[in-house]
Structure 1
Amino acid sequence: MDSFTYLSLFIFVAVASSFTLPELHVIKKISFKYPYSCQPGPSSYEGCALFLTDYGVLRNMPDLLYNGACGSSNTFEVMLAGDNFGMLSDLGDVPLENVTASKAFNYNRITGDDNTFTSTIKVVSGHTYAALLAKSEIRALFVFRVESYERSGPATISYAVKQYGIITLSQESPGFSWDEPNH
């Protein structure tokens, strides 16, 4: 590793460690003004995205996006760009207070009754969701409940972070591609 790379890595680690991480297991609330694809003016995440940390704001990497074309059904998304992985599960009309990290994956805690995860999910008022993120620098699990929702309009969610980490990659296989077949 050359000195520039080492210095860059050192600065990144030093900066990343100074960010405020979200409190775990604490319910908070956020309101979205409109879906991302139905906003007035030029596209921006303001008013339609949840950022769990100031690190996400700095990197312009929302943790949850409220989306949908004007007049259509709206969705939540977590897999927004590049090599980010994210999945969502609709747990149904269950109290947010009851969702543990374990229940985010298997709400009923019955073998073989695992929750189903998808990359986007329909917004349903009164439903609770689990979101799993595996971004290049972030690992997170959070849960949220739709408190109010207007099609193509505002929505309010309550959410609680179950796990959150800003990570430093030490090694990675080169050549990631969304479309590369196996050979």
Structure 2
Amino acid sequence: MLRLAHLLLFVSVTAAVTLPELNVIKQTTFKYSYSCQPPPLAYRDCALFLTDDSARQNEPELLYNGACGSKDYFEVHFAGSNFGVISDLGNVPLKEVTASKAFNFNNTVGEDNEFFATVPVVSEHTYAALIARDNIRALFVFRIENYQHNGPLTLSYAVKQYGINQSVQEAPGFSWNAPNH
């Protein structure tokens, strides 16, 4: 009976989340990079939230970061067992980036796109980001439209895949630093 109650609670919570539209280009502007904003540090003006739920939980899908005077970069790698990676696809039109091209833009064997935990901000470049969190899996692409170092940055983005998942069973003992034995 308790499992049924948990399942009903999960269904009611996930049903309330409005998922992003797929393949629709939208635009947003950040005021400054996360580490170069006036105190106190907050995600509000330097992070992309793909759903109202991620904003409510203060868990952005993309962070525009960089200390004042240093190079700016993007990151999707956050805390806990969550992880994400980003690939710089270069100066390509956002409209041309499919889910398949996010991983191998030229569709050529051996020319897979390279993914990293962080990537430098480059004007007029397009990026692909992959996120795996405890309950979310997402793929989205974005392009830098206008950029000033440590300052305002406008990007266009499109969500290619977004899913809210429930883990049925998970092996215990995850650690980022655990050695093999």
TM-score norm. by structure 2 comes to: 0.97
1:129-140 to 2 correspondences below 5 Å: 129-140=127-138
Q: Distance in 2 between matches of 1:24 and 1:70?
A: 35
Q: Determine the structure 2 residue equivalent to 1:12.
A: 10
Q: Distance in 2 between matches of 1:117 and 1:181?
A: 23
1:102 counterpart = 2:68? no
Q: Alignment partner of 1:7: what SS? A: helix
Is the 1:16–1:55 Cα contact (8 Å) retained in structure 2?
no
Q: Distance in 2 between matches of 1:45 and 1:81?
A: 15
Is the 1:148–1:157 Cα contact (8 Å) retained in structure 2?
yes
After superposition, the CA RMSD in angstroms is: 1.1
Shift of 1:17: 2.0
1:122 counterpart = 2:120? yes
Q: Alignment partner of 2:111: what SS? A: coil
CA deviation digits over 1:71-110, x for unaligned, max 9? 1110000011111110000000000000000000000100
Is the 1:51–1:57 Cα contact (8 Å) retained in structure 2?
yes
What is the aligned residue count? 181
Q: Alignment partner of 2:11: what SS? A: helix
Shift of 1:55: 1.3
Q: Distance in 2 between matches of 1:151 and 1:84?
A: 28
Q: Determine the structure 2 residue equivalent to 1:156.
A: 154
Q: Distance in 2 between matches of 1:170 and 1:10?
A: 15
CA deviation digits over 1:2-56, x for unaligned, max 9? 72x6534431332112211000000000000011111101111010000000110
Is the 1:144–1:157 Cα contact (8 Å) retained in structure 2?
yes
Unaligned runs of 5+ in 1: none
Q: Determine the structure 2 residue equivalent to 1:65.
A: 63
Q: Distance in 2 between matches of 1:12 and 1:111?
A: 41
Q: Distance in 2 between matches of 1:176 and 1:78?
A: 19
Q: Distance in 2 between matches of 1:9 and 1:58?
A: 22
TM-score norm. by structure 1 comes to: 0.96
Is the 1:35–1:74 Cα contact (8 Å) retained in structure 2?
yes
Q: Which runs of 4+ in 1 moved over 4 A?
A: none
CA deviation digits over 1:141-180, x for unaligned, max 9? 0000000111111101000000001111111001100000
